[in-house]
Amino acid sequence: MNETIIEGPLYEARKKVYPQAVHGRFRRIKWAILIFALAVYYLLPFVRWNRGLGFPSQAVLVDFPHRRFYFFFIELWPQEVYYFTGLLIIAAMTLFLMNAVAGRVWCGYLCPQTVWTDLFYAVERFVEGDRRQRIISDQRGWTFTHIRQAATKHFIWIMIAWWTGGAWVLYFADAPTLVKDLATFQAPFIAYLWIAILTATTYVFAGHAREQVCIYMCPWPRIQAALTDEWALNVTYRVDRGEPRVSVKKAEQLRQHGAPAGDCIDCHQCINVCPTGVDIRNGIQLGCIQCGLCIDACDTIMSEIGRPSGLIAYDTDINGQRRLAGKPPVYRLIRARTILYAGIITLVGSVMLYALATRTSLSINVLHDRNPLFVQLSDGGVRNSYTVRILNKGPERAFALNVSGLIDADLHIAGTERGPDGRLTVDVGQDQTREIRLSVQVESANVPQRPVDIEIKVTDVVTGQTAGVADHFVPPNQ
């Protein structure tokens, strides 16, 4: 059997995209989101939050040295990492929900790659002109004007990238102090390193790789292709309205004679404004990030030629088929998958809120010594030892230790004496963890016959706040 081998390149060479400026509803929404997202990102580290003396006053702070995460009134400890799991579940389900309702709305409006690329395109347009001027400039080659414009553009891009990297590190230390340290070259080396890495990645991804990130690097388009269904709203070219494509003049003539004429005049404006260079008239494609800019472009053309807007619009696959069959469109936002995603978000969010609302500023962990499990004393008494860790999420305070479940248990803490009031107390610093060695001893007459459950408890000597944990006391021969 003869096999035909088709030789050719393994991938298509990149065609440079020159997106044209566009005005309209979706462009305004994108500008609003861009300004809001960038303002939050660059300014949030400077927002202050009063947590009291000795606590950091930065509203959002990842405090690695003290192993804490601060988010306004919330302070998370490493032991509470499950909150991040909850946040990840909510984030994933929100993405799935967005996808089920409106396709790649995340890609088109909210993804950092989209936001920064949009900003870099705005700079490019401001410095080098709109699509036509940029194409002509590239065709002319390296003229003096082209070199000057390119140098200006890359300088502004690098400044934006540098600010992006600079803002990132401010989330990991007190922002005003770090800014001062960075300016006087007294900041830690790791801060400069991260700024350099993020400056480089922002510059490369938003300035050069651009749509290539969405098409080749990001896994989300592939995942969303598996998640979407025929009821999801996607940017859609309405074939029933658009075809056959003819010029305005020809369309008028055809309509006068009662012949079919589509609304698409093949002006290519929808392609010209597309940041990924997609022709949406060929159907939904991997390269389409669902930004809606082609809708704005086409609506402008429709209004200029006196045809109804919406030749390109957010619509569903089902409606595409229904329109072709002459049926009215139907929309179904509430369906099994949207209910499921919304339900999971509500459930996980509620559990997290409840856990946050009822979390305590004090907790203890106890580890019973394994080797030896007990110590038989010469007078017949028995001693068990424990490692007790007290987590104090409040101000510095003293805690009294008690053990219940044993008769006349005698407690000892290594390096600590009983106070004048006879209580065994330990001081734990503000927002600190303290580990102590606790010995629990009972006289021979009170040694239990078998292991017994006990509760080890700490009590704030001023407020009376308590935290306890169950463990056991092990006698000999068990």
The β-bridge relationship of strands 375-376 and 397-404 is unpaired
What would the two tokens of residue 189 be?
């080396």
Residue 101 or 274 with smaller CB distance to ligand SF4 = 274
How many CA atoms within 13 Å lie on the side-chain side of 197? Answer: 8
292 binds ligand SF4 (CB under 6 A): yes
CA distance 243 to 17: 26
Phi and psi torsions of 259, nearest 5°: -90, 155
Residue 209 DSSP class: I
312 binds ligand SF4 (CB under 6 A): yes
98 binds ligand SF4 (CB under 6 A): no
CA distance 321 to 211: 30
- Which position has the token pair 């306890």? 468
191 binds ligand SF4 (CB under 6 A): no
313 binds ligand SF4 (CB under 6 A): no
The nearest distance, CB 327 to ligand SF4, in angstroms, is 22
Residue 274 or 390 with smaller CB distance to ligand SF4 = 274
The nearest distance, CB 231 to ligand SF4, in angstroms, is 19
Stretch that binds ligand SF4, among 5-13, 141-149, 266-274, 371-379 (CB under 6 A): 266-274
187 binds ligand SF4 (CB under 6 A): no
**Other residues' Cβ atoms within 10 Å of the Cβ of residue 203:** 22
- Which position has the token pair 């044993």? 406
Judge contact between 366 and 408, C-beta under 8 A: no
Stretch that binds ligand SF4, among 50-58, 154-162, 284-292, 405-413 (CB under 6 A): 284-292
Omega of the bond leading into 176 within 30 degrees of 0 (cis): no
Stretch that binds ligand SF4, among 261-269, 377-385, 399-407, 464-472 (CB under 6 A): 261-269
> Which of residues 232, 270, 390, 406 is near ligand SF4 by CB under 6 A?
270
φ/ψ bin of 119: left (φ > 0), alpha (ψ from -120 to 50), beta (otherwise): alpha
Contact track, ligand SF4, 377-396, x by CB under 6 A: --------------------
Q: Which of positions 210-249 make contact with ligand SF4 (CB under 6 A)?
A: 235, 237, 242
The nearest distance, CB 289 to ligand SF4, in angstroms, is 4
Stretch that binds ligand SF4, among 142-150, 179-187, 291-299, 460-468 (CB under 6 A): 291-299
What would the two tokens of residue 406 be?
């044993």
CA distance 92 to 159: 32
> Which of residues 76, 297, 362, 390 is near ligand SF4 by CB under 6 A?
297
261 binds ligand SF4 (CB under 6 A): no
Alpha helices in 203-258 (DSSP H): 211-212, 220-227, 239-242, 248-256
Partner residues linked to 413 by β-bridges: 416, 438
What would the two tokens of residue 352 be?
């997290």
266 binds ligand SF4 (CB under 6 A): yes
CA distance 283 to 260: 22
264 binds ligand SF4 (CB under 6 A): yes
What would the two tokens of residue 118 be?
């949009």
> Which of residues 105, 111, 301, 424 is near ligand SF4 by CB under 6 A?
301
> Which of residues 93, 95, 293, 442 is near ligand SF4 by CB under 6 A?
293
- Which position has the token pair 């080396």? 189
101 binds ligand SF4 (CB under 6 A): no
The dihedral through the CA atoms of 412, 413, 414, 418 has a sign that is negative
Judge contact between 233 and 315, C-beta under 8 A: yes
Residue 99 or 149 with smaller CB distance to ligand SF4 = 99
Residue 97 or 311 with smaller CB distance to ligand SF4 = 311
Residue 292 or 320 with smaller CB distance to ligand SF4 = 292
268 binds ligand SF4 (CB under 6 A): yes
Binding site residues, ligand SF4, CB under 6 A = 235, 237, 242, 264-270, 273-276, 278, 280-281, 288-294, 297-298, 301, 311-312
